[in-house]
Amino acid sequence: MCEMNFLIQLLAFLSLLSSLQGTQLFDDIMCDNQLYTLDAALEKRESWALHMLDTWGKIPSGLLRGNTQNPGHFSECVEIRYNSIQGQHCMTTVAAIGNGSASTRDWSNAGLLIRDHNLTPTLGVCLPASCSPDKIVGYFNKFLISDDLEAVSTYCRTNDPVLFNSIDYFAIVIFGLLLLALVSSTVYDYVMINSNKNPSKLLSAFSIYSNGAKLFEMKESQSPNVISCLNGIRTLSIFWIIFGHRFDDRDFLPVYNDTSMFYKNYMYLMFTNYDKPVDSFFLIGGLLVTMSLLNSFEKKNVNILRMYLHRYLRYTPTLALIILFYVCFTKFLGSGPFFYTYTENCEKYWWSALLHLTVYTNPLYPCYDVSWYLAVDFQLFVISPLLIYPIWKWGKNAFWILPVIVILVQGCIFTTTYTKGISVYFFQMTTIEGIFAWLEKFYFPTHLRLGAWVIGIMLGYIMHHMKAKKVKINKYLDAALWILSISVLLTIILCHYPFIQLDNNPSKLANALYNSCFRIGWSYSVAWIIFACQNGSGGIVRWFLSWKEWQPLGKLGLSIFLVHRLYQIITVINQKQPIVWDFFTQSQKFFGDLLAATFLGTLLYLSIETPILLIESYLHDKIKTLKKY
């Protein structure tokens, strides 16, 4: 129950913040007159006033099971018009007054129930649009005093048309130019190919025709630099993350049913462990940059600045396009009682998202919530040459530094978790300050994500020296290592169970031990799977992860990861009522997310991710050619 109480408090805080930042104009004198008109109309039982009152959310049944929000009827409220009165829907958070009246212990009294169980329900209220949040709270309190309740904050919306501003027009121009580039480049490319001519690399960069063919091209490669199992690992990891983010619906939406009971079911560990594949991505990032850099060092063809530029262009334009759409068009795509303003952070911190500094400059106020991953990935990429060059230069004599770094990082995680009292599971932190500490001190920092990346560097060094050779491993040892790696992965998942029980309070030592061990255990286990698959063992696991049909989804991984959150946010802001949260409904939504994210990710990949890299490659080749002369 403490989980739900915290969520409602956080929601109320965000609601009040959004109300203060809104652009709606209020008129206290007009509000007072319209409230007087409303009261008089209610006494006369006038239809419009009864409709306004009818839209109010009542204290819901199931309060003790977590159903603490009732928005009433949003659409009916905002459509009300009577003379100059316009309906305004407000989600208003309610709390008990002090110790309340001592004259009664009647359990039918809502205030007594709310006070004794420390609840803060949020109810939908419909009042004239001329009224400010303070006026709404004051008026609503007249109806609550008999129950020893008071309104403490409110967030309001109307159905006024959303107006375009200058940044919206800028976005329309950008997307219009992008569409023009896609159409013209595709037509040019198609005509040239069908005329048996070679199209210009620059002019065909935005061609959906050629880029689409490359995207869906699936082929077997015998190159030792191609690690075919990575496509399967990437794709399954993305699926798991999308699944987990849909699980987080309950963070933003009220639910009818008690969600705490689901934590007793081991099946729901697939939801609560969705952060684990993030370390798989950092491991893969370290692996690939190591193999690439070691090859460049050997060929004496290293251009660090170009490498950084390529990485930056690899995902920043895609992120920028999503942020632009997010800020400018999300407000036109939905309206509902749970439409909280998600985009204010972008007005202040868009630059940190595009410079990949979010995790240190504004970790608690990200412009786009999944952008933290790109920030960590880019920062780890930037420092990689400092770690890879010594092992190329001095080989085994410098290699020992890497496991030492991993141990130091895990020690830092242990110390941070223990001294800050950070729990394993997000919602074991029962205060806003605790949640913020969990995110800022444990989950986001790049230096605490370094362990998985360094394990990837170690794996990359080993696989670089393997090249096309196979390492001979005794079949019993091979089987034992497979069993060990899978057992570690399952143990990490299953050991999460006691930490997610809301009626359990794990010790600081237990939290610190799990937090400092699971990332390194997960990374080493996935590293073995990659190594073993590339080495030719693994049987059906290797076949499944290396299945060539994973290749298109593997290429789309970044775009799918970035865009899936946008789609999920749009579904949240269009929700009008509390949801039933269970495995079936969330799984059903997940498949919708997957389909939408794959479609939108394909559009992003073809329209911005691939063209930008083709243009970068073209310009690099041109500059290289000019330098020869």
Does residue 202 lie in a domain region? no
Does residue 163 lie in a domain region? no
Domain identity same for 406 and 552: yes
Domain identity same for 141 and 227: no
Does the predicted model carry a pTM greater than 0.85?
yes
What pLDDT is recorded for position 405? Answer: 97
Does residue 164 lie in a domain region? no
Closest C-alpha among 391, 537, 539 to residue 465? 391
What pLDDT is recorded for position 340? Answer: 65
Does residue 210 lie in a domain region? no
- Note down the domain range covering 34: 2-157
Does residue 174 lie in a domain region? no
Chunked in runs of 10, what are the mean pLDDT values of the chain (629 residues)? 42 42 68 92 92 88 78 91 91 75 51 74 90 88 72 84 90 97 96 93 95 91 81 96 86 73 83 93 97 92 92 95 93 80 80 95 91 96 96 93 97 95 81 84 95 97 85 92 97 94 88 95 97 92 94 95 93 83 85 96 96 93 76
Report which residue type is found at 31. C
Does residue 56 lie in a domain region? yes
What pLDDT is recorded for position 339? Answer: 72
Does residue 349 lie in a domain region? yes
Domain identity same for 254 and 130: no
What pLDDT is recorded for position 342? Answer: 63
CB-based contact 223:546 (threshold 8 Å): no
CB-based contact 274:240 (threshold 8 Å): yes
Does residue 186 lie in a domain region? no
Q: How far apart are CA 198 and CA 589, in angstroms?
A: 45
What pLDDT is recorded for position 596? Answer: 96
Domain identity same for 521 and 590: yes
| One-character DSSP codes across 6-37 | HHHHHHHHHHHHHHHH------HHHHHHHHHH
Domain identity same for 229 and 344: yes
Helix or strand or coil: residue 88?
strand
CB-based contact 91:15 (threshold 8 Å): yes
How many domains is the chain built from? 2
Instruction: Please identify, among 157, 173, 206, the residue that sits at the C-terminal boundary of a domain.
Output: 157
Domain identity same for 137 and 233: no
Instruction: Please identify, among 157, 172, 205, the residue that sits at the C-terminal boundary of a domain.
Output: 157
Q: Which two tokens stand for residue 13?
A: 């805080």
What pLDDT is recorded for position 1? Answer: 40
Domain identity same for 144 and 255: no
Q: Which alpha helices (DSSP H) does 227-303 contain, by range?
A: 229-247, 249-252, 269-272, 276-299
Going through 97-208 in order, the beta strands assigned E by DSSP cover 122-128, 149-157
What pLDDT is recorded for position 385? Answer: 97
Instruction: Please identify, among 125, 157, 189, the residue that sits at the C-terminal boundary of a domain.
Output: 157
CB-based contact 553:595 (threshold 8 Å): no
Domain identity same for 118 and 262: no
Domain identity same for 320 and 414: yes
Helix or strand or coil: residue 277?
helix
Domain identity same for 564 and 473: yes
| One-character DSSP codes across 340-378 | ----HHHHHHHHHHHTT-HHHH-TTS-SSTTHHHHHHHH
Report which residue type is found at 479. A
90 Rama sector, left if φ>0, alpha if ψ -120 to 50, beta otherwise:
beta
Summarised one tens digit per residue, pLDDT across range 472-515 is 899 999 999 999 999 999 999 999 999 988 788 899 999 999 99
Domain identity same for 297 and 414: yes
Q: What are the backbone dihedrals phi and psi of residue 69, each rounded to the nearest 5 degrees, phi first?
A: -130, 135
**Residue 449 burial by CB count (10 A; 0-12/13-18/19+): exposed, middle or buried?**
buried
Domain identity same for 147 and 286: no
Q: How far apart are CA 508 and CA 58, in angstroms?
A: 41
Chain-centroid distance of CA 283 in Å reads 19
CB-based contact 93:154 (threshold 8 Å): yes
The total of other beta-carbon atoms located within 10 Å of residue 242's CB is 24
Q: How far apart are CA 456 and CA 461, in angstroms?
A: 9
Q: How far apart are CA 373 and CA 277, in angstroms?
A: 12
